[in-house]
Amino acid sequence: MKVKGVIIGSGLSGLKSYALLSKQLDSPPLIIDFTFGGSLVMPVDITKLSRVVPKVPIFISTELVSFFPHCSIKCLPLEVIVLKEGDLIDKVKGYTTINVQRLWIYEILKKNEVCFLIEPNDCIFKSLNIASVTSLNRVRDNIRKIDAERKNIVTSQGLIIEYDFIVYTWPIHSLRNILTNISDISVNKMLTTVDSALNYVSIYSQLYLINEKISEQKVSVFVHGTKTYRMHTAVKVPISDNLYTIYVLTSYSKNYPLHAGIGEKLYSEAKRLRLINPATIIDYADVNITYGFLGAENLDIVDELRRGLGNYNIHLFGRIAEWREYDVATLLLKAVPTIPELRWVIFEDGDHQEM
């Protein structure tokens, strides 16, 4: 198979690249990913809800709502309930000393009101002018290797794809295992150093869909700051008058690893803290987010690597490929992959926010 542009990953950055490139190229770019949706959405619908929900609670500040004209957004009062005082931030950072770029969720704790996307997928598709998932030119596959000199990709299922350029949105840490045939020694060296140079804290998130009458429409954040409980945060987000989601979160790191049985442990903690009532749970999902909070150190290595790979027509783009804590608004509206031709189109268009 031969294509001009390949996009690796189908999260927000992959879809954004797809929308931009589809306008520019004569033939649509090809997305390669083994799951759909990236960090933002559940790969499968919560069946009883027949809609996708974010894997982790995603909030948008009230000031940014007008930037999402195509999206249904709900804004509700925020209440914070401290279950146990303690070193919450240390616990959230998995008891590491890593300086993180942003502390998602905890950024909002001082606000009186928060907003969230009711249908994140729908919002992203409409904002990017993509008809549907099925309209995408996409192969569901993993990548065995990318030959940077020959410009071809071999997938796990043995497909060989020749390309002109790649937009890479997968984790920067995974590149080392799949990139081959790079003659530039400095690029090779950087590929081997990102592993140890870029630190992060991971999150394990449980999501419960609860059928229970809600007395007051508000977002509630429960925090627990000591080691007596593994859970550090639970976030309750109403969906309707008698339906809500509750996320139960813990962080993990080398200093605070996850142990077998963590699922049951969080479940029984949430029960004991009366955050969930088993009789009212109608659906459940859980997810590991390896790159939950990105470290703030050694970003210069990423920038150098990005420039080096650009010479091979491999362009890093997005939160975990560029190692930048982009939020949804920035990725959807402002950020663009650093592909020279693409930049040209954006300047030509005048306003790249109008997709």
Ligand X SMILES: Cc1cc2nc3c(=O)[nH]c(=O)nc-3n(C[C@H](O)[C@H](O)[C@H](O)COP(=O)(O)OP(=O)(O)OC[C@H]3O[C@@H](n4cnc5c(N)ncnc54)[C@H](O)[C@@H]3O)c2cc1C
Residue 142 vs 186, nearer CB to ligand X: 142
Q: Which residue has the tokens 């982790």?
A: 56
Quote the least distance from Cβ 35 to ligand X, whole Å: 5
Residue 294 vs 348, nearer CB to ligand X: 294
Judged by CB under 6 A, which of 12, 100, 201, 234 binds ligand X?
12
Binding positions for ligand X, 238-297, rule CB under 6 A: 289-292
Judged by CB under 6 A, which of 38, 120, 308, 337 binds ligand X?
38
Q: Does 236 bind ligand X (CB under 6 A)?
A: no
Distance CA 183, CA 161 (A): 21
Q: Does 14 bind ligand X (CB under 6 A)?
A: yes
Please choose, out of 30-38, 159-167, 238-246, 299-307, the segment that lies near ligand X by the rule CB under 6 A.
30-38
Of residues 230, 224, 219, the one with CA closest to residue 60: 219
Quote the least distance from Cβ 211 to ligand X, whole Å: 25
Of residues 204, 202, 200, the one with CA closest to residue 265: 204
Report helix, strand or coil for 58.
coil
Provide DSSP, 10-47. Answer: -SHHHHHHHHHHHHHSSS--EEEESSSSTTTB-SS-BT
Tell me the helices (H) and strands (E) count for the chain, helix number first.
9, 16
Binding positions for ligand X, 109-168, rule CB under 6 A: none
Judged by CB under 6 A, which of 6, 20, 53, 59 binds ligand X?
59
Quote the least distance from Cβ 4 to ligand X, whole Å: 20
Distance CA 32, CA 155 (A): 9
Distance CA 321, CA 317 (A): 6
Report helix, strand or coil for 117.
strand
Quote the least distance from Cβ 355 to ligand X, whole Å: 16
From residue 60 to residue 89, the character string flagging contacts with ligand X as x (rule: CB under 6 A) and all else as - is x-----------------------------
Report helix, strand or coil for 211.
strand
Residue 42 vs 270, nearer CB to ligand X: 42
For the chain, the maximum distance between any two Cα atoms, rounded to a whole number of angstroms, is 63
Residue 38 vs 238, nearer CB to ligand X: 38
Binding positions for ligand X, 286-325, rule CB under 6 A: 289-292, 318-320
Judged by CB under 6 A, which of 5, 29, 120, 171 binds ligand X?
171
CA angle 50, 52, 54 (to 5 degrees): 150
Residues that bind ligand X (CB under 6 A): 9-14, 33, 35, 38-40, 56, 58-60, 104, 169-171, 174, 203, 289-292, 318-320, 326-329, 331
